[in-house]
A = this chain, B = another copy of it.
């Protein structure tokens, strides 16, 4: 998506170690007008699918998911990260590793809010190795929900998560795929 790529070039900051900072518009300050145009693009890409729920994970996915849900006219469920859960059969749970924060989280969704009748569009801000996304997919599988598609704002194409999920058959639509970044010059190359 041209508009998002332009914005990443303009306001994104390339750091060492494969880090791309987009906190000016995506995950600390959020440009809701941009999110709205991203939502319209996903509506086009997932047209005709019987999506009745958006699933995301706290915290930075929630803002994008809320705007997307507004455009699709469906509710959002956001998975919660926790480090202390009492598993009492009322929660789907899985464990994910965050490389960014070097931590392991339990991720939970109440069984009341996801089930076999749900046709889910998963939305998140970033996809790199795909750990968080795999956690959400596992939760959908536990719930018997159908994953109609996955919408990602920015995919790091130089990490394997996205291509592995496409090979596994998921309809994954990343609006910008970063193929390479140079922290010395700040140059960013997108997959065309």
Contact = CB atoms under 8 A, between A and B. Distances in A.
Interface of A: 23-25, 28-33, 35-36, 58-59, 62-67, 69-70, 73-78, 80, 109-110, 112-113
B77 A28 contact: yes
A65 B67 contact: no
A10 to B, nearest CB: 14
A83 to B, nearest CB: 10
Contact of A28 (B31, B59, B66, B113): B113
A69 B30 contact: yes
Contacts of A25: 75
A32 B102 CA distance: 33
A63 B59 CA distance: 10
A80 B28 contact: yes
Given A35-B66, A67-B67, A75 B30 contact: yes
A65 B70 CA distance: 13
Given A29-B112, A63-B65, A64-B66, 17 more contacts: A24-B113, A28-B78, A28-B109, A29-B113, A30-B66, A30-B78, A32-B66, A32-B69, A32-B70, A32-B73, A35-B66, A59-B59, A59-B80, A63-B63, A63-B66, A66-B67, A70-B70
